[in-house]
Amino acid sequence: MRLETILTPERCFCNLPGVSKKRFLTTVSELISEATHSLSADQIYTALLAREQLGSTGIGNGIAIPHCRVADCKTITGTLVTLEEGIDFDAIDSRTVDLLFVLIVPAEEMNEHLKVLGAVASLFHQEEFCNKLRQARSAQELYDIATSF
């Protein structure tokens, strides 16, 4: 799977301030809502928070892949974020998180959700990919790196 099928430059955010997990989920929900115009920030936030309550989406090595299914979502939507400073995301290795890929999926797309989530996780397990993303200095650069792998 190529990230350009679910990611746009408008949904890439470089060096956002990192405050806390809850504040990040609020901020990213608002940013996704503004970029998509079809989903409310409240819907996204509620779904992401509910998923995080089941268990952290922090996969280790400073990476998290918050994801959820949303009833009003029409298409799989990805958002790529780097943070100025790492935040506690209850990751499996207890490290702070500074690189995040948020995945919003239509509620009925259970199989596709798992398939895309697996593909995204595989990308983020590549050290070279993550190092390049962390070195990006703009949203466009983030997008260009993400879509070149």
DSSP track, 24-87: HHHHHHHHHHHHHSSS-HHHHHHHHHHHHHHS--EEETTEE--EEEETT--S-EEEEEEEEEEE
CA nearest 13: which of 80, 105, 66, 112? 80
pLDDT at 1 over 80: no
Q: How far apart are CA 14 and CA 146, in angstroms?
A: 12
Q: How far is CA 52 from CA 57, 66, 82, 91, 128, in A?
A: 7, 7, 19, 11, 27
> In this structure, what CATH number is given to the domain that contains residue 140?
3.40.930.10
pLDDT, one tens digit per residue, over 62-109 is 999 999 999 889 999 999 999 999 999 999 999 999 999 999 999 998
Query: Judging by DSSP bridges, how do beta strands 77-87 and 67-70 pair with one another?
Result: unpaired
**Structural domain containing residue 60:** 3-146
pLDDT of residue 86: 96
pLDDT of residue 112: 87
Mean pLDDT of 15-21: 92
Whether pTM > 0.85 for this model: the answer is: yes
User: Catalytic: 125?
Assistant: no
pLDDT, one tens digit per residue, over 23-43 is 999 999 999 999 988 899 999
7 touches 79 (CB < 8 A): yes
Q: Is 58 exposed, middle or buried (0-12, 13-18, 19+ CB in 10 A)?
A: buried
The residues, any chain, with a CB within 8 Å of residue 36's CB and separated by 6 or more, are 11, 77
Q: Please provide residue 91's backbone torsions phi and psi, each rounded to the nearest 5 degrees.
A: -65, 160
pLDDT of residue 65: 98
pLDDT, one tens digit per residue, over 128-144 is 999 999 999 999 999 99
User: Considering 37, 67, 113, 125, which one is annotated as catalytic?
Assistant: 67
State how many domains the chain has: 1
